[in-house]
Amino acid sequence: MGRLFGTDGARGVANTELTPELAMNIGRAAAMVLTSEEVEHPTIIIGKDTRLSGDMLEGALIAGLCSVGANVKILGVVPTPAVAYLIGKYKADAGIMISASHNPFEFNGIKIFSSEGYKLPDALEEQIEAIVLDNAVPYKQCVGNDMGTVEYLDAAADDYIDHVISTVEYDLKGMNIALDCSNGSASRTAKKLFESLGANCHMLFDTPDGVNINDNCGSTHTETLMQYVKDNGLDAGLAFDGDADRCLAVDDKGELVDGDYIIAIIAADFKSRGKLKENTVVGTVMTNMGFQKFCDVNGMNFVSTKVGDRYVLESMLNEGYNIGGEQSGHVICLDYSTTGDGQLTGAQLLSLLNRREAKLSSIATLMERYPQVLINVKVSNENKPRFATDEVINEKMKSVENILEGKGRLLVRLSGTEPIIRVMLEGEDYEEISRLANETAELIKERLS
């Protein structure tokens, strides 16, 4: 796995890359880094998604945490944002989510949250890595009464649902919607949440079996949801990923409404009601050029960060902004949540539509999306670093940028969560950018695979 943490926690194939031994040590190190010497028995909460390996890694984390004196509260299957919220409600010192988000079931991951409910900054993750990988500090060894205890919290999912409901100003009565739970964490919460808000819910992919999470469903595979909404004449559809921190929408015509559109719709509504703090929206380098144009036309400032919702959040916290996110569906409404929350985002979007008596297909026209081509090139983790120094690849990238001549852009980046290099081209002419993207991707595959 190299160093432990990517853009969204520690992640790898369960039991080969992300082993129980490694999980145990991450738990031990996290407890040591995140709690002060004055706290004799810090409290750490743990949630997980529906992957088969979740129980194994949960057990390992429990062992590691208890061995250094931490008391553990088990939440069971919950969304990632539930962990972030419940840290404060349960007055915990930190929280851990066991999930590999949108990745296939054989992967799993460990996401760590601070006592404030925020994902850890790079500096703290590096301290944990130094203990686990470099033996920078010996692990604590608690014995006798100093060891930690374990408690199971059956009400965790309901407490999270109640929180999301409390953020919604206008209910969803009269709305007919479809919910694609990706056979993941949303399977535990989405139906009760949206029905409690008054919606009539059609449930898709909400029967997890440990191995079907993200399997041709959810926010990375929206085709079934799009067709279902169209065929059944529904008002909208929502697609979550495995741990439900992402949300993509489908409009009443069966068309996809991605994260850029969702952020644009919510930001415009915030601005119209005087709720858009600092008159600014935060996105990433992957945000569509059309979104930036939307901000210009509507008199909003746009701030771009590195890819990863953690960097979006960092910018929002530093500058006092309250809405931001990613095209992939990580949307952060900082007035309501400390991290991306797919179900909260979906509830806010649908509430907005019902309040304004508007169709999603008409309201999404406020932004025009530039054609964009994204190709994922599989490479080994060992070969990924060679990308930056390969002269042939870099010459090709310069050539593509010269061809675009300011009418588009090329972005090639290493995935922080998968053994993938992402090639993205954006511009006015779809055929041209498609050809250039494929040429660039094939060259990277030839040189690095």
Tell me, letter by letter, the H, E, C secondary structure of 371-425.
Answer: CEEEEEEECCCCCHHHHHHCHHHHHHHHHHHHHHCCCEEEEEEECCCCCEEEEEE
Task: State the Cα torsion 139-141-146-152 to the nearest 10°.
Answer: 60
Q: Give the chain's residues under pLDDT 50.
A: 1
Same domain assignment for residues 269 and 337: yes
- Considering the domain architecture, whether residues 163 and 303 belong to the same structural domain is answered as yes
Same domain, 59 and 131: yes
Shared domain for 125 and 239, answered yes or no, is no
CATH code for the domain of 412: 3.30.310.50
- 307 and 183 housed in the same domain: yes
**Do 177 and 246 belong together in one domain?**
yes
User: In this structure, are 32 and 85 located in the same domain?
Assistant: yes
Q: Given this model, what pLDDT does residue 396 score? A: 92
Question: Given this model, what pLDDT does residue 1 score?
Answer: 43
Non-local CB neighbours of 254 within 8 Å, separated by 6+ positions:
226, 227, 229, 230, 231
Q: Are residues 254 and 307 in the same domain?
A: yes
Pair 299, 350 in one domain: yes
| Active-site annotation holder among 101, 187, 337, 351 | 101
pLDDT of res. 169 = 94
In tens, the pLDDT along 406-419 reads 788 898 988 876 78
- Same domain, yes or no: 40 and 124: yes
Question: What pLDDT digit, counting tens, does each position of 23-72 carry?
Answer: 999 999 999 998 766 677 999 999 999 999 999 999 999 999 999 999 99
Q: What pLDDT shows up at residue 405?
A: 82
- 101 given a catalytic annotation: yes
Final residue in a domain of this structure, among 366, 390, 409 = 366
Residues 302 and 378 in one domain: no
Whether residues 340 and 395 share a domain: the answer is no
Domain end marker among 334, 366, 398: 366
Q: How far apart are CA 275 and CA 79, in angstroms?
A: 27
Number of domains in the chain: 3
Query: Domain limits at 382?
Result: 372-448
CATH code, domain carrying 242:
3.40.120.10
Token pair recorded at residue 56: 């194994």
User: Which of 331, 366, 401 is the last residue before a domain boundary?
Assistant: 366
Q: What is the pTM of this model?
A: 0.89
